Amino acid sequence: MSVGIAVAADPSVTRGAGGSHTVVNPATGRAIGEVPLADAAETDAAIARANEAFPAWKAVAPGERARLLRAFAAAVDAHIEELAQLEVANSGHTVGNARWEAGNVRDVLNYYSASPERMMGKQIPVPGGVDITFREPLGVVGVIVPWNFPMPIAGWGFGPALAAGNTVVLKPAELTPLTALRIAELAREAGLPESVFIVIPGKGSVVGQRFVDNPTVRKVCFTGSTEVGKQIMAGCARQVKPVTLELGGKNATIVFADTDLDKAAASAPYAVFDNAGQDCCARSRVLVQRSVYDEFLDKFAAAVRGVKVLDPASADAEMGPLISAGHRDSVARYLDGVEIATTGTAPDGADFAGGFWMPPSVVLPRSVTDAVWREEVFGPVVAMMPFEDEAEAIAMANDTEYGLSGSIFTSDVGRALRVARGVQSGNLSVNSHSSVRYWTPFGGYKQSGLGRELGPNATDAFTEEKNVFIATD
Ligand code: NAP
Ligand code: MG
């Protein structure tokens, strides 16, 4: 499963003044490459170049900008397998997931390639003249990406931002820079003008912090932890800089007794163990109506033991390793002193001895105050508790400062809608576990975030609305 890493940071962006990062394959723990990191001065220089490129990019005719985005999408499409293999090696994502993720970048670019030609304003009836509005790009947009989904989260930022006529500087997570660096090369090969899209590898406290502090960056689009998100928002407040925040989650699957229990139990493991639970939308709480609790637990535990935790490069793999040793340690702490109902498997061959593996497990908290029930674990641990009725299910699901996603399993359509309206989350799914579809808006209630990404209006978040009144009297 070794991959020759042919991706390096663009030397016009950084020669490594900010040091370098050794990229490690999480499945084996072995080093696979070295990426030079930018320092603050190199970051400012890249931001200045993106700013110089802005007026010309803004002036590109809408149809031509659309064509360039479609060419970018085609370039990504032609390199899906290469990008997927990079992500398997850098992030330990299963190859099936990694192919989907690269395809998602292509799809998001194609979807927003329709936007430049549809950036329509309004004509508003007013006395004494004509009133029209324009959607205008902001300038340089800074996108900050976490390590858990390096490709899709980058694309949800740069796709609509570029379509709206902004230039983009993007900071991948230090741990997972490889696919973003390659995607930036593909953008150039597809004909995007120089400096319209610049990927700057570096530390959050250095490169990310410059996106916040450098006034030339006109907006920050951040996905990551709630803790860092709050610092970004506070920093941006000093310049009244707009922010989009996609933060943590503590999402619930709610299983009612009237549902098809086999179906619900078979799907629930994948709603939390996909990407080894390192997913802001992971349904890490399962709420089950008391009358079917024991029956569901048996079926669910069997399904969890059946999750194929394998070499992520293998076509059969359903779950891979965690991102790092440190992260595995922090996830493992949630198992201390908690009743474990069942544990799945993890590979144990010599090849994987140095990797960051952890089998999936189902735990039964004693109380809703247990850390495993309250905190975002971000790993392959799911906690289960019973509820009595619809009202209690909604109250328990809402008993968290997060509000990102969730699933409801019931065969009663009225109940499905009542509960969907009652749960304070941005993205709910009935009798399924879908969260992120690029056609529909995505984002969080409460401390899960601010603003929405994706969907038909995503470009609005990367524009100012300008109002112009023309007197006719
Ligand atoms: P993180 O530690 O908050 O880091 C996210 C990004 O911010 C990284 O690129 C990081 O850089 C950078 N960063 C760190 N400190 C910074 C600072 N002071 N200024 C500017 N940037 C800074 O999050 P993570 O551990 O990578 O990712 C896991 C978290 O992301 C989870 O909480 C998860 O729920 C959340 N998430 C949310 C969504 C969503 O859509 N709601 C999606 C995915 C993940 P370095 O890592 O290089 O230091
Ligand atoms: Mg972090």
Q: Could you tell me if residue 10 is inside a domain?
A: no
Structure tokens given for 20: 């370098």
Distance CA 184, CA 182 (A): 5
186-243: pLDDT as tens digits = 999 999 999 999 999 999 999 999 999 999 999 999 999 999 999 999 999 999 999 9
Q: Could you tell me if residue 424 is inside a domain?
A: yes
Q: Which of 39, 148, 200 to mutate to test the pocket of ligand 1 (most atoms within 8 A of CB)?
A: 148
* Catalytic member of 101, 174, 246, 376: 246
Mean pLDDT of the region 68-88: 98
pLDDT score, position 4: 55
pLDDT score, position 2: 44
Q: Which of 181, 251, 274, 280 to mutate to test the pocket of ligand 1 (most atoms within 8 A of CB)?
A: 280
Q: Could you tell me if residue 224 is inside a domain?
A: yes
Same domain, 223 and 256: no
Same domain, 92 and 127: yes
Which contiguous run of DSSP H or E holds residue 442?
Answer: none
Distance CA 221, CA 263 (A): 37
Q: Closest ligand to 210 CA? A: 1
* CATH number, domain containing residue 287: 3.40.309.10
For residue 202, give the ligand 1 atom closest to its CA.
Answer: 47
pLDDT score, position 434: 84
Same domain, 234 and 346: no
What spatial distance separates the first Cα and last Cα of the chain, rounded to whole Å? 74
Query: At what angle are helices 150-163 and 178-189 packed, to 10 degrees?
Result: 40
Cβ atoms of 129 and 468 closer than 8 Å:
no
Distance CA 108, CA 405 (A): 21
Q: Closest ligand to 157 CA? A: 1
Which contiguous run of DSSP H or E holds residue 37?
Answer: none
Same domain, 345 and 358: yes
Nearest CA to ligand 1 atom 34: 248
10-67: pLDDT as tens digits = 999 999 999 999 999 999 999 999 999 999 999 999 999 999 999 999 999 999 999 9
| Ligand 1 contact via 107 beta carbon (within 6 Å) | no
Ligand 2 centroid to residue 258 C-alpha, Å: 40
pLDDT score, position 7: 72
Structure tokens given for 102: 């690269």
Same domain, 220 and 329: no
Give the Å distances, CA to CA, from 99 to 1, 17, 94.
16, 33, 9
Ligand 2 centroid to residue 7 C-alpha, Å: 23
Distance CA 329, CA 348 (A): 18
Distance CA 233, CA 231 (A): 5
Q: What is the DSSP letter of 464?
A: E
Structure tokens given for 57: 């990019």
Ligand 1 centroid to residue 121 C-alpha, Å: 34
Structure tokens given for 471: 């007197």
Same domain, 226 and 126: yes
Distance CA 219, CA 234 (A): 13
Instruction: Give one DSSP letter per residue of 342-401, joined into a string.
Output: EE-----SGGGTTS-----EEEE-SSTTSHHHHS---SSEEEEEEE-SHHHHHHHHH-SS
388-423: pLDDT as tens digits = 999 999 999 999 999 999 999 999 999 999 999 999
Distance CA 21, CA 1 (A): 21
* CATH number, domain containing residue 209: 3.40.605.10
pLDDT score, position 435: 74
| Ligand 1 contact via 444 beta carbon (within 6 Å) | yes
pLDDT score, position 1: 37
427-450: pLDDT as tens digits = 999 999 987 999 999 999 999 999
Say what percent of the chain tops pLDDT 90: 97
Same domain, 204 and 270: no
Tokens 């089998």, located at residue: 359
Q: Which of 20, 24, 147, 169 to mutate to test the pocket of ligand 1 (most atoms within 8 A of CB)?
A: 147
Ligand 2 centroid to residue 149 C-alpha, Å: 13
| Ligand 1 contact via 205 beta carbon (within 6 Å) | yes
| Ligand 1 contact via 203 beta carbon (within 6 Å) | yes
| Ligand 1 contact via 378 beta carbon (within 6 Å) | yes
Collapse the DSSP code of 8 into the 3-class scheme (helix H, G, I; strand E, B; otherwise coil) and give the result: coil
For residue 453, give the ligand 1 atom closest to its CA.
Answer: 40
Q: Is 185 a catalytic residue?
A: no
How many structural domains compose the chain? 2
Q: Could you tell me if residue 59 is inside a domain?
A: yes
Instruction: Give one DSSP letter per residue of 151-194, joined into a string.
Output: HHHHHHHHHHHHHTT-EEEEE--TT--HHHHHHHHHHHHTTPPT
Same domain, 209 and 288: no
Q: Give backbone dihedrals phi and psi of 146, rounded to 5 degrees, phi first.
A: -85, 175
* One-letter identity of residue 400: T
Q: Could you tell me if residue 334 is inside a domain?
A: yes
Ligand 2 centroid to residue 309 C-alpha, Å: 24
Q: Could you tell me if residue 282 is inside a domain?
A: yes
Q: Could you tell me if residue 5 is inside a domain?
A: no
| Ligand 1 contact via 144 beta carbon (within 6 Å) | yes
Long-range contacts from 241-245, C-beta under 8 angstroms, 24+ separation? 241/212, 241/215, 241/217, 242/138, 242/218, 242/461, 243/219, 243/450, 243/451, 244/219, 244/220, 244/443, 244/449, 244/450, 244/451, 244/452, 244/453, 244/461, 245/449, 245/450, 245/451
Q: Taking the CA of residue 400 as centre, how many other CA atoms within 13 Å lie in the half-sphere pointing to its CB? A: 32
* One-letter identity of residue 28: T
Domain that holds residue 303: 252-437
For residue 146, give the ligand 1 atom closest to its CA.
Answer: 26
Helices (H), 201-273: 209-213, 226-237, 261-273
Cβ atoms of 288 and 281 closer than 8 Å:
no
* Catalytic member of 280, 281, 318, 453: 280
What's the chain's average pLDDT?
A: 97
Cβ atoms of 288 and 325 closer than 8 Å:
no
Q: Which of 225, 241, 244, 440 to mutate to test the pocket of ligand 1 (most atoms within 8 A of CB)?
A: 225
Is pLDDT above 70 for 3?
Answer: no
Same domain, 404 and 454: no
Same domain, 265 and 320: yes
Q: Closest ligand to 427 CA? A: 1
Same domain, 415 and 299: yes
Ligand 1 centroid to residue 350 C-alpha, Å: 32
Nearest CA to ligand 1 atom 23: 224
Q: Is 42 a catalytic residue?
A: no
pLDDT score, position 124: 98
Same domain, 460 and 361: no
